[in-house]
Copies of this chain bind each other. A is one copy, B any other.
Amino acid sequence: MEKILFFLTILPFLCFSEQTFNNLIQLPEINEPHLQKWSPDEIKLHCLSWRVAVEANNLSPWKNIPEECADYIKEYMTGIGYIFDLKRVSNEAGIYAKSVDLSGDGKDAWIFDVDETLLSNFPYYADHGYGLEIFDSTKFDQWVETGMAPAIEPSLKLYEEVLSLGFKVILLTGRSERHRSITVDNLFRAGFREWDKLILRSPEDHGKTATIYKSDKRSELVAEGYRILGNSGDQWSDLLGSSMSTRSFKLSNPMYFIP
């Protein structure tokens, strides 16, 4: 009897579901040239869905943000949404960091990426359409060489937390070895200190994807005896591959993609 009652309760949903579960709303197909027919609300939904797909690592390599999402991404980056997400990931990472039993032998490591993880290139991207323009490495290098990238404050908070808990901090960045000095200056100016290692791309790493380069470096760290317990990065290529961290934290970044 209970089963029958249960079944009767869900019957309306089943009928709804079986017949019309996905046909209820006939959205224009994504990736088809119907965009001009979409309402502003549909465009917004499409761009939110695109941003979530970026964060869930569902997209193929992409070179710039979809043109129709320029306003949405600008609004997200300049509004409270981005800061909200940065605070959340910092809080979550902090909760995890406090829960870890450290061995205290100097080999408990937390890896941080640099750009869009510790340092913000917001001022540069604000001037380049928040990812709408195709990446220009010459112009970006000029920006890097100013050494003026501000700290991402929630990351600085996490950075200080993990240091005070006794983690060794390792900075692993896709920046080139030739930018070591300006990167150190910039990190100091932004408040980051006391790292154990700052690993930059040396000439032999330049042909590698970020995933391979960072995996190789993590494997070297593991070979040196480090236990990689936490890893913070804004790209999935900071986090996936071999010698992965026990837990990873993906900071929001809808502006660019590094394979």
Query: Which of A7-15, A162-170, A177-185 makes up part of the contact surface?
Result: A7-15
- Beta-carbon nearest neighbor of A250 in chain B: B56
Q: Establish whether residues A27 and B83, one from each chain, have CB atoms under 8 Å apart when the complex forms.
A: yes
| A17 contacts partner chain B, Cβ-Cβ < 8 Å | yes
User: Complex Cα distance A64/B90, Å?
Assistant: 21
Residues of B within 8 A of A16 (CB): 123
Interface: A57 (CB within 8 A): yes
Q: Which residues of B contact A80 (CB under 8 A)?
A: 25, 27, 45
- In the complex, what residues of B have CB within 8 A of residue A10's CB? 123-124, 126-127, 143, 146
Number of A residues, CB within 8 Å of B: 67
Residues of B within 8 A of A29 (CB): 87, 91
**Inter-chain contact B13/A153, CB cutoff 8 Å:** no
- Closest B residue to A10 by beta carbon equals B123
Residue A36, interface by CB 8 Å: no
Which of A140-199 touch B at CB < 8 Å? Answer: 142-143, 146, 148, 150-154
Say whether A135 faces chain B, with CB atoms less than 8 Å apart: no
* Contact indicator B58/A88 (Cβ below 8 Å): yes
Q: How long is the Cα–Cα vector from A120 to B18 in the complex, in angstroms?
A: 10
In the assembled complex, A92 has its CB within 8 A of some CB on chain B? yes
This protein's copies in its complex? 2
Is A49 engaged at the interface, CB distance under 8 Å to the other chain?
yes
In the complex, whether A95 has a CB less than 8 A from a CB of chain B is: yes
B84 touches A17 (CB 8 A): no
**In the complex, which residue of chain B has the Cβ closest to the Cβ of A21?**
B150
CB-based nearest B residue for A22: B153
8 Å CB contacts to B: which residues of A219-259? 248-250, 252
Closest-CB distance, A206 to chain B (whole angstroms): 24
Does the CB pair B45–A84 fall under 8 Å?
yes
Cβ A56 vs Cβ B56 within 8 A: yes
Which A residues are closer than 8 A to B by beta carbons? 3, 6-7, 9-10, 13-14, 16-18, 21-25, 27, 29-31, 45-46, 48-53, 55-60, 80-81, 83-89, 91-93, 95-96, 120, 122-124, 126-127, 139, 142-143, 146, 148, 150-154, 248-250, 252
| 5 nearest CB pairs, A to B | A22-B153, A13-B123, A55-B56, A17-B150, A56-B250
